[in-house]
Amino acid sequence: MSFHHELTAKQFTKENLKPLLENLTHQGKKIVFTNGCFDILHRGHVEYLCQARDLGDYLVLGLNTDASVKRLGKSPERPINAEDTRALILAGLECIDAVVLFNEDTPLELITFLQPDILVKGNDYKAEEIVGYDIVTAKGGKVITINLVEGFSTTSLIDKMKK
């Protein structure tokens, strides 16, 4: 199998990911879910994603589409990298098992559909305020926040490049 094929094999629609996750759950595997834009991948992202993967057996990354990034209002030039580029780069990380794009403003619909066991976000959020908290905890799952690596952000990276 070619390396490029392995990358595209990690990219899913929510519909074709669901049966795979159900099968993994049937085997007693813990599904971890996190989400974000991951516009310009940096050390903070990689450390965060690897820690998220360590919390279970299979890491699903919900990735904002370009349209949903624009609606987040980060800045007019964002995202820097298009969704297909961001998805391919993230699929190249060993710690990520699946990348699935979502176009909504939040990943609530995706979380509801996929029903992960563990929901993860950075510690810039309080667990109870994380989108999907109710869905995951209602099924006996966990919502976990991970400490973010200080000094790394896409925005600060872009500012640095502009200077």
**What does the pLDDT look like over 80-91, one tens digit per residue?**
999 999 999 999
Q: What local confidence, expressed as pLDDT, does residue 4 receive?
A: 64
Q: What local confidence, expressed as pLDDT, does residue 152 receive?
A: 58
Among residues 100, 131, 137, the alpha carbon closest in space to that of 118 is found at 137
β-pair partners for 132: none
β-pair partners for 102: 64
Instruction: Provide the sign of the torsion angle of the four alpha carbons 104, 9, 119, 39, taken in this order.
Output: negative
Q: What local confidence, expressed as pLDDT, does residue 7 receive?
A: 74
Residues 6 or more apart from 95 whose CB is under 8 A from it? 46, 49, 50, 52, 53, 59
Q: What local confidence, expressed as pLDDT, does residue 68 receive?
A: 95
Asked if 91 contacts 7 with a C-beta cutoff of 8 angstroms, the reply is yes
Q: What local confidence, expressed as pLDDT, does residue 9 receive?
A: 92
Local structure of residue 92 (DSSP, 8 states): T
**23-54 pLDDT per residue, tens:** 999 999 999 999 999 998 888 899 999 999 99
Q: What is the Cα–Cα distance from 46 to 105, expressed in whole angstroms? A: 23
Average pLDDT score, the chain: 91
Q: Taking the chain, what is the end-to-end CA distance rounded to the nearest angstrom?
A: 43
Low-confidence ranges of the chain (pLDDT < 70): 1-4, 151-162
Q: What are the residue ranges spanned by the domains of the chain?
A: 3-162
Out of 3.40.50.970, 3.30.1330.10, 3.40.50.300, 3.40.50.620, which CATH number does the structure's domain 3-162 have?
Answer: 3.40.50.620
Q: Is the entire prediction scored with pTM above 0.85?
A: yes
Q: What local confidence, expressed as pLDDT, does residue 155 receive?
A: 60
